[in-house]
Amino acid sequence: MTTTALDRRLMAANIRMSRRHLGLTGTNPSVGTLVVRDDGDGPVIVGSGVTATGGRPHAEPLALAEAGDRARGATAYVTLEPCAHHGRTPPCAEALVNAGIARVVAAATDPDSRVSGRGYEMLRAAGIEVEQDVMAEEAKGVLSGYLTRSAEKRCEVTVKLAVSADGMIGRDAAGQVPITGDAARAQSHLLRAEHDAILVGIGTALADNPELTCRLPGLSARSPLRIILDRTARLPLGSRLVHSVGDAPLAIGTAHPASERAQALEGAGVRLIACEEHEGRVALPELLDDLAAQGVMRLLVEGGAKVARSFLAEGLADRIVLFESDVVVGANGIAAPFTRATIPGEYTASGEWRFGADRCHEFLRSK
Ligand code: AOF
Ligand code: ZN
């Protein structure tokens, strides 16, 4: 049997559902599973699951537990190949077999060397019909952080920028200048919630005194790790960032972790990430590798202009989220490192925008 339009609709729903725990699953990807059966009256979803917060249980046992006996003879839709290894939980492929699942429709193959095709083999060996690579590209939209960390041993980077109508991101020495409004604010807090870590430069931290927490109603417990690029450990102990260290973890990437100031910050609960230095700045590629080794899959870069420019110039940005507003900043504006017109990239022969290899951007127009 091949896949049907219904398979694709159910997989699309499953992929959307799997977004729910982005940023919450620790070092594990956020995976979705639907268990669907048709007893003649049309398809019914009898079980659903998303990788639990913290990363375990995996999605499959949660969906199977909900389905109970109704899993027997049913089809399971999974956004990632079911695991084949005895980790902290038994293999999900085995759980699907034991539950009597008849057919598995899977999107992306798991690059984890303990799985990588073995999950499918276990299912097929037990007589389960397996359809793989179904909407794999769409599933990668949710799994891309995990896949980047697996393939390149670095975290995936989203650069977020709000640009005024005259191409500015703020005004010199004016602190936070409102460029976008409530809709964009909500959207960017949601963006924070879906990332494992957020990063800004010390310049932004000093100029704006931001908190960088996720303050959406109901989602405030989802504040990711806040990282400040702070080569010489200048972050003030009295900043909002340090004051809110009880609400969300805070780290500085510094080349001087043994300095008195860095030690004082550590005493206040700030994590120190020892960084290499490159031309008077924190070396970014090494930092991204280091963060990936610590389990960070998705990093959101929120500013300022110099930091965003560095990530782009070094080819370290995977995705750009650009908020475009109608506000005019006018005199003393700080020019955006890029605008829609100047985003580096190229149109391919098919007319598709390519931002480096396999990279993408999103434009959000917002007041
Ligand atoms: C699945 N379903 O929902 C997820 C999977 O440390 P462990 O034992 O939890 O294993 C982590 C690995 O499990 C991770 O690297 C990835 O290969 C897989 N994640 N697999 O079957 C899931 N989240
Ligand atoms: Zn599993």
pLDDT tens by residue, 71-100 = 999 999 999 999 999 877 889 999 999 999
Q: What is the pLDDT of residue 254?
A: 97
Options 3.30.470.10, 1.10.3210.10, 3.40.140.10, 3.20.20.220; CATH of 5-143: 3.40.140.10
Q: Is the CB of 28 under 6 A from ligand 1?
A: yes
Please check if 309 is assigned to a binding site. Answer: yes
Superfamily of domain 153-365: Dihydrofolate Reductase, subunit A (3.40.430.10)
Given a contact cutoff of 8 angstroms between Cβ atoms, the answer to whether 103 and 75 are in contact is: yes
In Å, how far from its chain's centre is CA 58?
Answer: 18
Q: Is the CB of 320 under 6 A from ligand 1?
A: no
Given a contact cutoff of 8 angstroms between Cβ atoms, the answer to whether 146 and 155 are in contact is: no
Q: What is the DSSP string of 236-257?
A: -TTSHHHHTTTTS-EEEEES-T
**Closest Cα to atom 13 of ligand 1:** 83
Given a contact cutoff of 8 angstroms between Cβ atoms, the answer to whether 238 and 261 are in contact is: no
- Residue 199 Cα to ligand 2 midpoint, Å, equals 31
| pLDDT averaged over every residue in the chain | 90
Identify which of 317, 314, 287, 290 has the alpha carbon closest to the alpha carbon of residue 302: 317
Q: What is the pLDDT of residue 361?
A: 57
Please check if 241 is assigned to a binding site. Answer: no
Q: Is the CB of 246 under 6 A from ligand 1?
A: no
- pTM for the whole thing? 0.86
| 18-60 tens-digit pLDDT | 999 998 898 899 999 999 999 999 999 999 999 999 999 999 9
pLDDT class of 257 with cuts at 50, 70, 90: very high
In the chain, where does DSSP find H-type helix? 5-18, 59-67, 92-98, 118-125, 136-152, 182-193, 202-208, 240-243, 260-267, 284-293, 305-313
Q: What is the rounded distance in angstroms from the CA atom of residue 140 to the CA atom of residue 44?
A: 26
Q: 73-77, 258-262, 287-291, 328-332: which range is least confident on average?
A: 328-332
Given a contact cutoff of 8 angstroms between Cβ atoms, the answer to whether 203 and 305 are in contact is: no
Q: What is the DSSP string of 203-214?
A: HHHHHH------
Q: What is the pLDDT of residue 357?
A: 37
| 148-178 tens-digit pLDDT | 888 888 899 999 988 888 989 888 877 777 8
Given a contact cutoff of 8 angstroms between Cβ atoms, the answer to whether 224 and 275 are in contact is: no
The residue to mutate among 58, 78, 142, having the most atoms of ligand 1 within 8 angstroms of its beta carbon, is 58
| 330-356 tens-digit pLDDT | 889 989 888 877 776 655 454 444 444
| 99-128 tens-digit pLDDT | 999 999 999 999 998 889 999 999 999 999
State how beta strands 75-80 and 32-38 pair. antiparallel
In Å, how far from its chain's centre is CA 252?
Answer: 20
Please check if 214 is assigned to a binding site. Answer: no
Map out the domains of the chain as residue ranges: 5-143, 153-365
Given a contact cutoff of 8 angstroms between Cβ atoms, the answer to whether 145 and 156 are in contact is: yes
- What radius of gyration, in Å, describes the C-alpha atoms of the chain? 23
Number of the ligand 1 atom closest to the C-alpha atom of 86: 8
Q: Closest-lying ligand to the alpha carbon of 55?
A: 1
Q: Is the CB of 18 under 6 A from ligand 1?
A: no
188: number of Cβ within 10 Å: 22
Number of the ligand 1 atom closest to the C-alpha atom of 87: 8
Q: What is the pLDDT of residue 157?
A: 92
Percentage of the residues of the chain whose pLDDT score is greater than 70:
93
Known active-site residue 60 = yes
- Residue 109 Cα to ligand 1 midpoint, Å, equals 12
